[in-house]
Structure 1
């Protein structure tokens, strides 16, 4: 039985997860490892984070759609930053729902325990609640989703500040000395020169850049360190291989985007931007796949 003071359910002989874990991974996603973060506080934190990510989604979409580009707006779904953000956003929506149901409706029986509980409310409650018992396939599927959503988020931030910005594809110039321009006709506003640093850019642009490529990584660290009790993923080799496969699938998705919009989701996949060298673009893509497990080890 959950409580507001225990970080995780006490072990139960009836609820044995695969590989000897006394709790399923779905339940572990709903409990903080820190005793100070009780269930109601955890639900409140998840509500704030999910609401924040939702607001970022709206502002960032506006920024991406309004960014000057020679390609169609349909390029946005194929960008790696979009894919990484959506995965993280969906993860937080899912865990918020599970945590809320687990906190405020903890006594919903499993279908095997209550085969006659066929009311619509019971079916809806079960659908939105974390499973107390999961199969090996279900455990592995959610574990991979948890891993990939956080690896992509961290990889997105890492690539942005170490690859895109130094290469001039970060959306703003390297910050220099503060240089604000005031419009004499409007004394209440500060107008920014787009050739200046990040904090001299338009507010929406600065907000979007900081959130999509930085704050999301901070949220990922908070999630991994404070908001769930998920154990280190196992088998490790299988998760590393799964991360490599997920990165390869993104390259395939980016290839679909190239065919549909004539735009690569990452600049280094475009031979034209790599010195008209297909080999350099292929090598960069291989490097992207190879470095993806780094996010898992962080």
Structure 2
């Protein structure tokens, strides 16, 4: 099968289309013929520095939408021919930027019939991250004030829709040029981070979704109401900002997204209800993965980038 592999760390130029053996599903696994695979910032970070995967060679990609080609021993959820979408177990279950990929059956859900594979392939990792942060962890309730950083980004723009589906009042940071996009998503209060210090403009927030890290997480603690919660999706393992949260009388927690069958089903329900949709910032054939990475490296896209296969 064709796959996009890298043998060294570096820029987009290290990505090469190669022929490798097609995997076979083991017990409790499915083999999926990939029709679309989203890209996420974690892809270009791993490409450049190895991240959790350490040293190449490896094939990147956690998002996938496609058709079940074969099932392993004991699989009851799916059968060959089923259309599915999901996130491969993060971080070590990587490999969707290829014609076929295998993964645990329960990492997948049935693809919503209302969307195509390109749309479905853009959703899983970013939507699961937002779902696990805002629903599983923060349990956002109607009327709560939720601040989402980088609200036009991959995770951010899906997090906005999930928060709105929960009935929240959403504040989103983004450059001024993306504020119309934020309002279309449902953001109640856009904040231009380039011209405005959000820490001075925003207050009495119940939940902050930190998608940026660095000093944003510390500054965000000061906009929370007493007892409010900050969820950072960039876990560092450092205790300093968690201890600072405790000093300020608020809470802080770090989250690493997990493969999640129940979460994928909940996300599929939102998609079918018309409450969740990915904005596609760019779509590329598999062979042009390097071009997609070049665009992703700019950090300026609104929505998601996707690789597509026939």
Give the alignment's TM-score, normalised by structure 1. 0.22
Which structure carries more helix by proportion? 1
Which structure carries more strand by proportion? 2
Q: Which structure would you say has the larger RCO, counting Cα contacts within 8 Å and 6 or more residues apart? A: 1
Structure whose CA Rg is larger: 1
Give the alignment's TM-score, normalised by structure 2. 0.21
